Amino acid sequence: MPIIRSRGGSPIPNADVQSKTLQTAAQRLGLQLHVLNAITPSDFDAVFARVKELKANALMIAQDVVFNTQTAELAELALRYAIPAIYPTHDFAEAGGLMSYGTDLRDAWRQASKARSLPTCQSSRRANSR
């Protein structure tokens, strides 16, 4: 099963840890995991062609800013190449992707904005300074 992630300098601080964790899980299940990299949207078509060459049964798109701004294009490529894909956020599914494993970012932001209006307490105790 291939996973597509951004190559080098990823804004996701634990991208390498995620890849290693997935690799370990795949090995335990007797699956072969291929990590394919893309830097810009111009890389997407070649990566999907490679996934097709690998005769992969499925594809996982990693969490990355590059991908989050190209939801419709990635969903369309998966459809064009006939590759079942799972995506990191709900936005991909809304754009036509098969399914997502993550959260609905709009809902998360909506909930966060409500939290700003919750009452808070500020401590009246101060640490002793010497």
Domain assignment present for residue 111? The answer is no
Q: Establish if 126 belongs to a structural domain.
A: no
Is residue 63 a part of any domain in this protein?
yes
What pLDDT does 55 receive? 92
Q: CA angle, 73 as apex, 72 and 79 as ends, to 5°?
A: 90
pTM of the complete model? 0.71
Q: How confident is the model at residue 73, as a pLDDT? A: 95
Task: Give pLDDT, residue 62.
Answer: 84
**Residue 9 pLDDT:** 46
Query: Would you say 45 and 75 are in contact if contact means Cβ atoms under 8 Å apart?
Result: no
Q: Are 100 and 86 in contact (CB under 8 A)?
A: yes
Structural domain of residue 60, as residue ranges?
Answer: 2-104
Look at residue 84 and tell me if it is in a domain: yes
CATH of the domain at 22: 3.40.50.2300
In the chain, how many domains are there? Answer: 1
User: What averages of pLDDT result for each successive group of 10 residues across the chain (130 residues)?
Assistant: 57 67 90 87 94 91 85 94 90 89 77 69 55
